[in-house]
Structures are given as C-alpha cells and as structure tokens.
Structure 1
Amino acid sequence: MDNVRDTFKEVAAAILPVTTVVILLQLIFIRIPFEALIQFLIGVSFVSVGFFLFLIGVNAGLLPIGEMIGRKLPSTKKVGFIIATGFLLGLVVTIAEPDVRILAKQIEETSEGTVSAPTLIWSVSLGLAIFVALAMIRTIFRIPLHYLLIGGYTLVFLLSFFVPKDFIAISFDAGGVTTGPMAVPFILALGIGVASVLRLETENSGEKFGLIGLASIGPILAVMLLGVLFR
C-alpha cells in the first residue's frame, strides 16, 4: 500500500506541473481551440494512468528481476556468458524502448523513408547492447570508468568529422532516448546486481553505477556509423 501511495505522489508531481503550465498558457497567451484543450486533458488522464501502472510494474517486476538476474550471473563463473547475457538484455530492452521507437518514426518521416524506422531501431539497439556488454567487462575486470568514457567520447568526436551533419544531431538524440523508462530500470538493476555479488561495494560503491552513462555512447557511435553508410 505504501508503494502505491508513493507512486501516486510521484505521478502527480510529474504530471501536474506540466498540466498547470499548459492551462495557464491557454488562458493567458495561446488561446488554442477548446476541443484541442479537451483532447490534451484526456491525454493527460491516459498518461497519468499509464505512468502510474508503469511505475508499479517497474517496482514490482523489472527492478527485482533485473537485480536477481545480475546476482545470479556471477555464480556461473563464466565471463563469456555474463557478457553475452548483458548484450542480449541490452538489445531486447532497447528494442522495446518507447522513446527509441518515437525517434525512429520521426526520423523516417523527416527523411522521407531514406532512413527507415527498423534500421534506426536496430542500429541504436545494437550500439547500446555492445556497450552494455562492455560495461559488464568493466565491472568484472574493475576497469576505471573514466578510461572507457574518455576513449568512447574521443571516438565519438573523431568520427563526427566524417559524418553528415544531420546524423550528428540524430546520433546524440539517439544516445538520449535510450535512457528511457524501459531500458534504465532493467539495465541499472542488472549492473547493480552483478556488482553487488562481485563485492565491489566493499571497495567503492560508485562501481555499481555509471553503466547507463557508458552504455549511452553505443547508440551515438552506431548512428554515426549509419550516417557514414548513408553518406
């Protein structure tokens, strides 16, 4: 019951400010048609219910199962299996990520079908999956995060000189949309689970985190490489 109450407060805190601002703008400045305002309020209602149910599902299912998988993986003592599992889970949760699909659809429309939505979705998903696998390697072998971040973003900026300008903008948006409500809870819980079993918390609790920041480099590089192919 406490979880339901707290989730309701989170949803209200997220949705009410946006709704209030839009209504104030409508009353003072915009004066959009009344029908459009009604559609907005109906949409807010649907979003509120969906957001509430989603957060309940995340807390009840995604976070616990992600952390449980992360805790069980090291017990196999198979480095390759742990890395492959991280890759596979990173791939499937990104394919399911709503933000990625929205971006892919918009890119397909603005490019008039030159870059299809499935192509972009698979490129972004593979990019993130590869870097989730790299994050697993970093956790297992305790590689300092800043080495990988410096190397990753150095490669991003070097590659940007060979990529069409439109794809540079798209690539950084792709890195952002992968940090959405589907991928983040599951991948973060997975990383925390693996790190906890490897007892990294006794040395540096910060080693449990940084996975999402590292993984988001993958989609940027993937879309840039896609831009080179479409050049």
Structure 2
Amino acid sequence: MAALLDGVDRITIEVARALIPLLLFFWIFQALYLKLPRVYVANLAKGILLAFLGMVLFLQGVNVAFLPAGREIGEAVAALDQRWLLIPFGFLLGFLTTYAEPAVRVLCYQVEESSGGSIGRSLILYTLSFGVAVSVSLGMARLVYGIPLLSFLIPGYLLAIILLLFSDGEFVGIAFDSGGVATGPMAVTFLLSLAVGVAAGIEGRNPVTDGFGLIALIALAPIISVLALGIIYRRTRGEET
C-alpha cells in the first residue's frame, strides 16, 4: 500500500498548480462579466473537484503502473531472439492504446456532433487507431533495424503536405488536431516507456537517442490517415454529384 501511494503528495501539488490559475481566471470573469447563477457555479465547483481527484489518481496510476510496466514489457520483448515480432506487437499496442485514449474519444464525439452526424465517431476512431498502429510498428522497426528517425519524419511530413492538396477541406482541421490528440496520456506514458525499454534491451541502442522519437511518429500518423480519409470522402461526394 505504501508503494502504491509513493509520490502522491508531489502529484497532488503539481495538479493543484495546474488547476489553480484556471480557477482564478474563471473567478475573475465570474465576478466581472459572467455573473452565472449560484447553482451553476456550485455544479462547476463539484466538477472541478472531480477532475482534480481524477487527475491525481490517473497520474499516480501512470507513475506506479504504466511507466514501469511499459519499460519492463519493452525490455522483455527486446530480449527475444525473433525481434521482428516487435513490429506486429507494436501495431497491436498502438491500435489498442489509441482506441482507449480518452482524448481521442472526445475528439471523435466533437467531430460527429459538429458535422451533424455526417462524419461518424466510429469512423474517425478506427482511422486514428489504425494510423497510430502503423506508426508504432514503424517505430519498432526503426529500433530493431537501426533506421534513422528522419527517414520517417521527412517523407511523412512531405506526404502530409501533398495530401493537403487533395483532401476534403472539412478533414484538414480534424487531421492536424488529431495529431495532438493521439499523443495523449495513454500514448505518452505507455508507448514511450515501451520504446525506451525496447531501446534499453537491444544491444547497441541508446535509450535516449533511439528510444525517444516515437511520439513524433504517433503525432504524424493521424494527420496522414485522416487526410487520406478526406480524399476518400471527396471522391465519394464527387461520384454522388
């Protein structure tokens, strides 16, 4: 039990430091401009309290479970003789992690609501999950075969720029927001620690120079996948008209 709560005081202080400025900003606007009813403010205060407790519990769980688990799994898989298995293993973990990412769910809901249901949340969710899965598998291939990070990033961003010219305009903003959303707490905590563990477990790899960089690939993948989806939508609409 002591190990489970180790460091919770530090996390509580960090979360409080992050939320207090936002609270002060709200209270200033409430006093000067908003003048919201007391019932609304009371419900808002309860929601903020729940968010505070949720962030503390989540970050504590990340430090106690996700970070060490990801690193240990990475080192264990890297110790296998058939290291090529890291590539499909990374694909599976990338898909599942993105599918479970809370920020991705929020984005998918907002897209469906803002588009009036013409762009379904499930379609965006599976598109993002598949894109991140591919990027994580490429990240694992980079670690296994020692491929430089720029060999993926430069062609990837050039491809994204080219896809901008052909994708449906409604998907451009969604695509670039998806890149930030996909690199949420699940991806950063688990997949990054996994990559560092893999780099530490492969002889000749440096956990700092080789382990990091996976998040850059994860941020790029949703942009490409959503822009590609926009091209499909654009062609579908053209055929219908």
Same fold, TM-score > 0.5, yes or no: yes
Correspondence for 2:224 among 199, 217, 221? 221
Is the contact made by 1:104 and 1:121 (CA closer than 8 Å) also made in structure 2? yes
Correspondence for 1:28 among 12, 16, 32? 32
Shift of 1:16: 1.3
Shift of 1:33: 2.6
Aligned twin of 2:83:
79
Aligned twin of 1:153:
157
Correspondence for 2:188 among 184, 203, 213? 184
- Cα distance in 2 for residues equivalent to 1:169 and 1:199: 41
Root-mean-square deviation (CA), in Å? 1.4
What is the DSSP-based 3-state SS (H/G/I as helix, E as strand, rest coil) of the residue aligned with 1:183? helix
Alignment of 1:1-231 (within 5 A): 2-200=6-204, 205-231=208-234
Query: TM-score, structure 1 length as denominator?
Result: 0.95
Deviations 1:104-146 (A, max 9, x none): 0111111121111111101001000100100111112221112
- Cα distance in 2 for residues equivalent to 1:185 and 1:200: 24
Unaligned runs of 5+ in 2: 235-241
Matched-pair identity in %: 38
Aligned residues: 230
Unaligned runs of 5+ in 1: none
- Cα distance in 1 for residues equivalent to 2:127 and 2:62: 26
Is the contact made by 1:145 and 1:210 (CA closer than 8 Å) also made in structure 2? yes
Moved more, 179-188 or 27-36: 27-36
Is the contact made by 1:200 and 1:208 (CA closer than 8 Å) also made in structure 2? no
- The answer to which structure has the higher helix fraction is 1
Query: TM-score, structure 2 length as denominator?
Result: 0.91
Amino acid at match of 1:120: I
Shift of 1:147: 2.1
Shift of 1:188: 0.4
- Cα distance in 2 for residues equivalent to 1:165 and 1:77: 47
Shift of 1:201: 5.6
